Amino acid sequence: MKHIADWALNTANQRGAGYADVRIVDDRHRALATKNGKVGHAGSSESLGIGVRVLVDDSWGFASTDDLSRESVERTAAQAVEIARASSTVKEEPVRLAPEPAVKIEWSTPYKIDPFTTSIEQNLDLLISIDRELLAVKGVTLAESNLHLGRYEQWFFSTEGSEIHQTKMITGAGFAAYSFQGTEIQKRSYPNSFGGQYQTKGYELIDELQLVENARRIGEQAVALHSAPQCPQGVMSLVLDSSQLGLQIHESIGHPIELDRVLGMEANFAGTSFLTLDKLRTLRYGSDIVNVVADATEAHGPGLGTFAFDDEGVAAQCTPIITNGLFTGYISSRETAHTIGENRSNGTMRAEGWNRIPLVRMTNISILPGEKPLTFDQLIAGTDDGIFVQTNRSWSIDDKRYNFQFGCEIGWEIKGGKLGRMLKNPSYSGITTEFWNSMDAICSRDQWTLWGTPNCGKGQPMQTMGTGHGASPARFRDVKIGTAYAKSN
* Mean pLDDT for the chain overall: 96
Q: Is the pLDDT of residue 121 over 90?
A: yes
- Cβ atoms within 10 A of the Cβ of 89, count? 8
- Continuous segment of H or E residues that includes residue 302: none
Structural domains of the chain, with CATH: 2-227 (3.30.2290.10), 234-488 (no CATH)
Q: Which neighbouring-strand residues pair with 476?
A: 238, 439
Backbone angles phi, psi at 144, to 5 degrees: -130, 130
Residue partners of 104: CB distance under 8 A and separation at least 6: 162, 163, 164
- Say how far apart CA 406 and CA 421 lie, in whole Å: 21
Specify the pTM: 0.95
Note the pLDDT tens digit of each residue in 393-429: 999 999 999 999 999 999 999 999 999 999 999 999 9
- Say how far apart CA 289 and CA 184 lie, in whole Å: 40
Q: Which neighbouring-strand residues pair with 106?
A: 165
Cβ-count burial 50-71 (b if 16+ within 10 Å, e if not): bbbbbbbbbbbbbbbbeeeeee
Give the sign of the dihedral formed by CA 241, CA 115, CA 130, CA 38. positive
Q: Which neighbouring-strand residues pair with 364?
A: 468
Residue 489: its pLDDT value, please?
A: 40
Q: Is the pLDDT of residue 214 over 90?
A: yes
Residue 486: its pLDDT value, please?
A: 63
Residue 114: its pLDDT value, please?
A: 97
Q: Are strands 365-367 and 359-360 parallel, antiparallel or unpaired?
A: unpaired
To the nearest whole percent, how much of the chain has pLDDT over 90?
A: 96
Note the pLDDT tens digit of each residue in 282-324: 999 999 999 999 999 999 999 999 999 999 999 999 999 999 9
Q: Is the pLDDT of residue 488 over 60?
A: no
Q: Which neighbouring-strand residues pair with 471?
A: 449
Note the pLDDT tens digit of each residue in 410-419: 999 999 999 9
Question: Quick check: 325 and 286 in contact, CB under 8 A?
Answer: yes
- Say how far apart CA 179 and CA 212 lie, in whole Å: 18
Residue 487: its pLDDT value, please?
A: 58
Q: Is the pLDDT of residue 485 over 90?
A: no
Residue partners of 270: CB distance under 8 A and separation at least 6: 255, 261, 399, 457, 458, 459
Backbone angles phi, psi at 213, to 5 degrees: -65, -25
Q: Write the single-letter amino acid at 321.
A: I
Note the pLDDT tens digit of each residue in 331-388: 999 999 999 999 999 999 999 999 999 999 999 999 999 999 999 999 999 999 999 9
Q: Is the pLDDT of residue 478 over 60?
A: yes
Note the pLDDT tens digit of each residue in 48-98: 999 999 999 999 999 999 999 999 999 999 999 999 999 999 988 999 999
Query: What number is the average pLDDT over the span 184-210?
Result: 97
Query: What number is the average pLDDT over the span 14-23?
Result: 97
Residue 483: its pLDDT value, please?
A: 82
Helix (H, G, I), strand (E, B) or coil at 134: helix
Residue 356: its pLDDT value, please?
A: 97
